[in-house]
Chain A
Amino acid sequence: MKQPEKQCEHMYLPDLCGVRTVLTLVVVAELFVFVLALGTPAGSEVDRWTRLGLISLFVQWITLFSSSLLCLARRHLCRLRAPGVTLVAFAIILGTTALFSELTWWLYYRVVFHHPHAWHYDFLARNLLVATIVSGLVLRYFYVQQQWKRNLRAESESRMQALQARIRPHFLFNSMNTIASLVRTAPDTAERTVEDLADLFRAALGDERKLIPVSEELALCRRYLDIEALRLGERLQVDWSLAPLPDSARIPPLCLQPLIENAIYHGIEPRTEGGRLVVRAAADDRQVVLTVRNPLAGDGTGDGARRQGNQLALANIRERLAVHFGEAAQLRMEEEDGCFVVTLVLPATPPEETPT
């Protein structure tokens, strides 16, 4: 039973083979029967209780029969999209209703009361109409409930991804390992590295909607690169070329750092001989331009995979830039004589800061 469930995640109908779901359906159907029985004046030919019993019998038969059919059809329904599932569910419910209406009419009016023609088609039509309305409501309820569950899950996943886009777990654990090694041999460096790591995580776990000065982000990047330099040794060379930046320039925290992290992960680490990373900052009155340049991996391994791994962090950065600066900020990527260059353009003065 577990296997089909797994592939069936997109389907909005709950598992109608389960005891709980069936019990819920039966209770709902019974409540509906109460409404029907209470809604009509009593005392014509049978009293209210008999009427309630008869309608219950009729409605529960339809409910149980159609839900077992849906349970049996579940594996096939999984292959359909939502409209298809709805259509099939309607067909099953209405078919069942028609079948039981005919049976009831035949038993009740012909065998018991010998009324050969009493309201045959009227009876059938009314039942089908009621079944359509009620099953429509129930299906809609299932659909909305599943959408709600899915949104909830997507939201928690995207939060997790947003955090991972800012600090890769890969980096965290490697840094821990570096520190573990330094504690024995160079306690001072180990101490400094712990401080650097703490600063980075404070920024990563802080309020990502707040803007910080670009110079502060550059300082974070330096801390990050100090840690990576310990790990990669001679394989990592960094060139900084920083022009004076306007004090007003702001950036969402950890927008540049993931770009540098990507550059190391994809451009330096896979190369046996390592490489040179260039971080440049330039500014004029209108904008601040930050670029990160790294050599291409060279051996050509996993080019497609490389981009895939990038996407997450890049999408996250783009989104945050767009929230704060709209069109005024840009994130560009290009390949240029054997190098991969990422350019981040920010407005020199951020638009009116919203009062906090």
Chain B
Amino acid sequence: MKILIVDDEPLARSRLAALVRELPGCEVAGEAGNGIQALEQVQALEPDVVLLDIRMPGMDGIEAARHLSTLETPPAVIFTTAYDDYALAAFETCALDYLLKPIRQERLARALESCHRLTRAQLAALQEAGARGSAAAQTEARSHISARVKGGLRLVPVEDICFFHADQKYVTVGYLDGEVLIDESLKSLEKEFGDRFVRIHRNALVARARIMGLEKDRGGRCRIILRDCARRLEISRRHLPDIRRQLR
């Protein structure tokens, strides 16, 4: 069984690696120091199990797990934590297993035997439940959006995103370096990122901070001008007064 160890503390990683090596049939595939590295390593090393610390700088474990779950063949995930009041409560509500540090070897062995993939619904619920009771630095919204592209996962930082535009089946994410498709609903995105993005049409959300102005096209419809974004999305009549108010 190939295992990836993710923790921001080198000493915590080395202890966990030592424990894993002592277990028959288990090997350490690699180590990562934060969520983003973890995603890269998972794609490069294709481990069977990821031991994922919850509190990490950059991208925390819960968000990393959410992105992992969008992979075609996601690894199983076991969360580890030293002490996180709110997170543990969230884990109980979502009936997820976790390991408390310092981790006991027999506990680790048991968790590795019975571990399984987490479902996306479980993870979304987890993040929401965690955010509600959180007094720590975690927030409900993800820091990145993940899109499956050819050859792996692309992570788009939320601050780079200009708009979300819903087509037939997918949502197009327009960001500084181009566009990607994701399989999420505008409604859930609006719920999660409501403080950063505003709805301008039944089919579009745009970054509040990027709104520069409005223009009328030849058909007389109102379109929005976004900073660092060539595409001019249409504003529906219903949302126009709202956007005008924000521009003032």
Contacts and interface: CB of A to CB of B under 8 A. Distances in A.
Interface of A: 169-170, 172-174, 176-182, 184-185, 230-233, 235, 266, 269-272, 297, 299, 301-302, 305-306, 308-309
6 contacts: A174-B101, A178-B12, A181-B102, A305-B139, A308-B135, A309-B136
Given A181-B102, A184-B15, A299-B58, 17 more contacts: A173-B100, A173-B101, A174-B9, A174-B101, A179-B102, A233-B9, A269-B55, A297-B137, A301-B137, A301-B143, A302-B138, A305-B136, A305-B138, A305-B139, A306-B137, A309-B135, A309-B137
A179 B135 CA distance: 27
B137 A302 contact: yes
B102 A176 contact: yes
A181 B84 CA distance: 20
A306 B139 CA distance: 11
B10 A233 contact: yes
Given A185-B14, A301-B137, A309-B136, A178 B9 contact: yes
A305 B57 CA distance: 16
A180 B137 contact: no
Given A180-B15, A297-B137, A173 B83 contact: yes
Contacts of B82: 170, 173-174, 176-177
Interface of B: 8-12, 14-15, 18, 33-34, 55, 57-58, 82-85, 100-102, 134-139, 143
Nearest to B14: A181
A26 B63 CA distance: 59
Nearest to B11: A181
Contact of A305 (B14, B15, B135): B135
A306 B15 CA distance: 30
B83 A174 contact: yes
Contacts of A235: 8
A231 B11 contact: yes
Contacts of B138: 301-302, 305
Contacts of B34: 272
Contacts of A180: 15, 102
B57 A269 contact: yes
Nearest to A304: B139
Contacts, number: 83
A338 B93 CA distance: 38
A180 B102 CA distance: 7
Contacts of A176: 82, 101-102
B15 A169 contact: no
Contacts of B11: 177-178, 181-182, 230-231, 233
Nearest to A233: B10
B17 to A, nearest CB: 10
A177 B57 contact: no
Residue of A177, A184, A305 with highest tally of chain B CB at under 10 A:
A177
B137 A270 contact: yes
A272 B101 CA distance: 21
Given A299-B143, A308-B135, A172 B18 contact: no
B145 to A, nearest CB: 16
Contacts of A309: 135-137
Given A174-B101, A177-B82, A305-B139, A271 B57 contact: yes
Nearest to B58: A272
Residue of A181, A185, A231, A308 with highest tally of chain B CB at under 10 A:
A181
B33 to A, nearest CB: 8
